[in-house]
Chain A
């Protein structure tokens, strides 16, 4: 389970400083901020904008364009289920429904107790061992209903 730091503008400034001199530094900075704080807090946007001589709108535009960047913290565990064609061909849709039912939440949202964020993902490159999933950083291939139940129990614990 990933441990994130609480928001701290000095820490954010350090992260920005690490990358600001690279060409095209915005994505590396956003990745670093999200890795550290678990999301890209709204307070980070003006700091980054000022350091890169961009408008806040430009930074906001980038944060919201890319599926990876979160403006709000995720649940304690993040379960991503692949919804792409290769996984569909092996029953991914049924697994997604199973996960939604068990967690009583929809793909793309977090359980009310904040324990699990359930997200769709479009291809983990595990298409020859489909269906695939990722729990935090851990990859799971050849997923079936039984293994998904175990995974969901682990995510909820």
Chain B
């Protein structure tokens, strides 16, 4: 039977993948051809979506971007045998954007059927869990520490240390919470992995549970991700039926179960303590730390909270050994990062690579510059709380410390590219506006400071800024940065001050000020 792969990733659906799948089925029937459509995740080459792949004798052959109107022509061109067509891309793994990547976490995404346990196993799935079951829990924690894995939500805290703290904490009940509340603009890796390879998330969670002695896990994700929620829930059910979740995980005699919980449109719930409050059924109000969630987290029990991308990196580390992971990267940033290239960019998508690649390489060489063909003016790195980087900082390597040294952050690995039509004063205003909109209201610098910031920048946008405005914004940002309880108020100064520092002319000012610190 001929197998045709059509993504069911939300990004592919948004550009017509369902229609393409339906037309392929109809066209095949009309021509008396028998074929199976396999719905996969996305490879993450979004400018080529919907990207259709046909399994041929020499491997998969990709075509894209395929519109419904192209389907009849593809059949005429013999695409089921890999025939020539203007949309033919050849072997997907040879497309430079994919060939240049190091896919450890996303190895299966876009390749396998996300609802097939057999597919997952056939592509190396569950080997990490098998290793973890064979080891003493403390050894599993040590392996994660040795891998150098750091929190992929952006804070960059060593995952192994977090696990050890929970493993050592006393408590009858412990929890694993996966933070898949991916609210940052420019990021979509959590969504892709949940839609394209949900079992890797489950495997990572189970390993974490066994390692620290937790029996219950929650994946907290966004209501804006209905497809990810559905795929994740289906995969959990399949895994439970296969005996890999529940009272006796894979015959180990140990118990772990898992549930997906859906947020309700509050960005601040991506902050770990607000997330815990939300899981408990409360308003997403940030908690003061300490106590750390590792000591007193969900329902006051010791809790591991890991970002979805940290969780998804775990099975590889256990299956291949910590060294195989730690061999990639630079400095204290070990392993790979699934970087998301988005916004006004020619080749947008998911680019998993070892730490150390420069921002310029990512934007110009891999991303191909802007979609509009105009010059790149700025790149916001790390979501709405990340700094805007001008071209003169494009030599910054992708690394937690290198970005911090340039008054920025890598956050969850999202890049949003802007062309030269962007008004950076407006972007700075938006950063304050977004903070005001999403502030949980607990601390004053965030709640009030964000609104005052909008007011100042409204004045600047109307009449041009003065040096007094500049000093006021810098002072306000200083207060927010050091006085806020969490990263929402604390990091809003990054986009604001980077815009002001690198693009003062957009504020009607002459350059001279350094970033607030």
Partners in one complex: yes
Point out residues on A near B: beta carbons under 8 Å.
23-28, 30-31, 52, 58, 61-62, 65-69, 84-90, 121-130, 132, 137, 139-142
A126–B440 Cα distance when bound, in Å, is: 25
Residues 376-398 of chain B, each 1 if its beta carbon lies under 8 Å from chain A, else 0: 00001000100000000000000
B33 lies within 8 A of chain A by Cβ:
no
A133–B422 Cα distance when bound, in Å, is: 21
A20–B10 Cα distance when bound, in Å, is: 32
Can you offer 27 A-B residue contacts whose CB atoms are under 8 A?
A: A24-B280, A24-B299, A27-B264, A27-B281, A28-B262, A65-B440, A68-B263, A85-B343, A85-B427, A85-B430, A86-B185, A86-B342, A89-B419, A90-B344, A123-B184, A123-B187, A124-B10, A125-B11, A125-B224, A126-B10, A128-B47, A128-B348, A128-B349, A129-B14, A130-B342, A130-B344, A142-B14
* B282→A26 contact, CB < 8 A: yes
* A90→B343 contact, CB < 8 A: yes
Contact pick for B264, options A31, A90, A137, A141, CB 8 Å:
A31
Partner-contacting stretch, out of B85-93, B119-127, B410-418: B410-418
Point out the residues of chain B lying under 8 angstroms from A69, CB to CB.
Answer: 264
Point out residues on B near A: beta carbons under 8 Å.
10-11, 13-15, 44, 46-47, 49, 182-188, 190-191, 222-226, 261-267, 278-284, 299, 340-345, 348-350, 371, 380, 384, 414, 416-419, 422, 427, 430, 434, 437-438, 440
Point out the residues of chain B lying under 8 angstroms from A65, CB to CB.
Answer: 266, 283-284, 440
Point out the residues of chain A lying under 8 angstroms from B284, CB to CB.
Answer: 65-66
A90–B184 Cα distance when bound, in Å, is: 17
Among all A-B residue pairs, the 3 with the closest Cβ atoms: A26-B281, A128-B348, A84-B185
Query: Nearest-CB distance from B447 to chain A (Å)?
Result: 13
A65–B340 Cα distance when bound, in Å, is: 30
Point out the residues of chain B lying under 8 angstroms from A90, CB to CB.
Answer: 343-344, 371
If A23-B299, A69-B264, A86-B343 touch, whether A126 touches B188 (CB-CB below 8 Å) is yes
Central interface residue in A24, A86, A128, by most chain B CB within 10 Å: A128
A90–B343 Cα distance when bound, in Å, is: 6
If A65-B266, A86-B343 touch, whether A126 touches B14 (CB-CB below 8 Å) is yes
Closest B residue, CB atoms, query A26: B281
A90–B47 Cα distance when bound, in Å, is: 14
A140–B11 Cα distance when bound, in Å, is: 9
* B224→A28 contact, CB < 8 A: no
Closest B residue, CB atoms, query A65: B283
Query: Nearest-CB distance from A146 to chain B (Å)?
Result: 15
Point out the residues of chain A lying under 8 angstroms from B414, CB to CB.
Answer: 86, 127
Point out the residues of chain B lying under 8 angstroms from A137, CB to CB.
Answer: 226
Contact pick for A89, options B10, B226, B418, CB 8 Å:
B418
* A89→B264 contact, CB < 8 A: no
Point out the residues of chain B lying under 8 angstroms from A26, CB to CB.
Answer: 281-282
Query: Nearest-CB distance from B474 to chain A (Å)?
Result: 22
Other CB < 8 Å A-B pairs besides A68-B264, A127-B188, A127-B343, 8 of them? A24-B281, A85-B416, A124-B10, A125-B11, A125-B225, A126-B11, A129-B46, A142-B14
Point out the residues of chain A lying under 8 angstroms from B266, CB to CB.
Answer: 65-67
Query: Nearest-CB distance from B374 to chain A (Å)?
Result: 11
If A66-B264, A90-B344 touch, whether A123 touches B14 (CB-CB below 8 Å) is no
Point out the residues of chain A lying under 8 angstroms from B187, CB to CB.
Answer: 123, 125, 127
Query: Nearest-CB distance from B74 to chain A (Å)?
Result: 21
Point out the residues of chain A lying under 8 angstroms from B223, CB to CB.
Answer: 31, 68
* A122→B183 contact, CB < 8 A: yes
* A122→B261 contact, CB < 8 A: no
* B185→A141 contact, CB < 8 A: no
* B15→A141 contact, CB < 8 A: yes
Point out the residues of chain B lying under 8 angstroms from A142, CB to CB.
Answer: 14-15
A67–B266 Cα distance when bound, in Å, is: 6
Query: Nearest-CB distance from B233 to chain A (Å)?
Result: 12
* A125→B265 contact, CB < 8 A: no
Point out the residues of chain A lying under 8 angstroms from B267, CB to CB.
Answer: 122
Query: Nearest-CB distance from B407 to chain A (Å)?
Result: 18
Point out the residues of chain A lying under 8 angstroms from B191, CB to CB.
Answer: 125
Point out the residues of chain A lying under 8 angstroms from B185, CB to CB.
Answer: 84-87, 122-123, 127
If A24-B279, A85-B186, A123-B224 touch, whether A68 touches B265 (CB-CB below 8 Å) is yes
Point out the residues of chain A lying under 8 angstroms from B10, CB to CB.
Answer: 124-126, 139
Closest A residue, CB atoms, query B184: A123
* B418→A127 contact, CB < 8 A: no
A121–B345 Cα distance when bound, in Å, is: 21
Query: Nearest-CB distance from A25 to chain B (Å)?
Result: 6
Query: Nearest-CB distance from A38 to chain B (Å)?
Result: 15
Central interface residue in B264, B340, B380, B414, by most chain A CB within 10 Å: B264
* A62→B265 contact, CB < 8 A: no
Point out the residues of chain A lying under 8 angstroms from B264, CB to CB.
Answer: 27, 30-31, 66-69
* A128→B283 contact, CB < 8 A: no
* A62→B281 contact, CB < 8 A: yes
Contact pick for A62, options B222, B263, B283, B380, CB 8 Å:
B283
A52–B408 Cα distance when bound, in Å, is: 44
* B15→A129 contact, CB < 8 A: yes
* B188→A128 contact, CB < 8 A: yes
Point out the residues of chain B lying under 8 angstroms from A67, CB to CB.
Answer: 264-266
If A30-B264, A127-B414 touch, whether A86 touches B186 (CB-CB below 8 Å) is yes
* A85→B281 contact, CB < 8 A: no
* B281→A121 contact, CB < 8 A: no
Closest A residue, CB atoms, query B433: A83
A141–B418 Cα distance when bound, in Å, is: 18
Query: Nearest-CB distance from B256 to chain A (Å)?
Result: 16
Closest A residue, CB atoms, query B299: A23
Point out the residues of chain B lying under 8 angstroms from A86, CB to CB.
Answer: 185-186, 342-343, 414, 416
Central interface residue in A65, A69, A86, by most chain B CB within 10 Å: A86
Query: Nearest-CB distance from B397 to chain A (Å)?
Result: 22
A128–B280 Cα distance when bound, in Å, is: 33
Query: Nearest-CB distance from A46 to chain B (Å)?
Result: 17
Point out the residues of chain A lying under 8 angstroms from B280, CB to CB.
Answer: 23-24
Point out the residues of chain B lying under 8 angstroms from A25, CB to CB.
Answer: 281
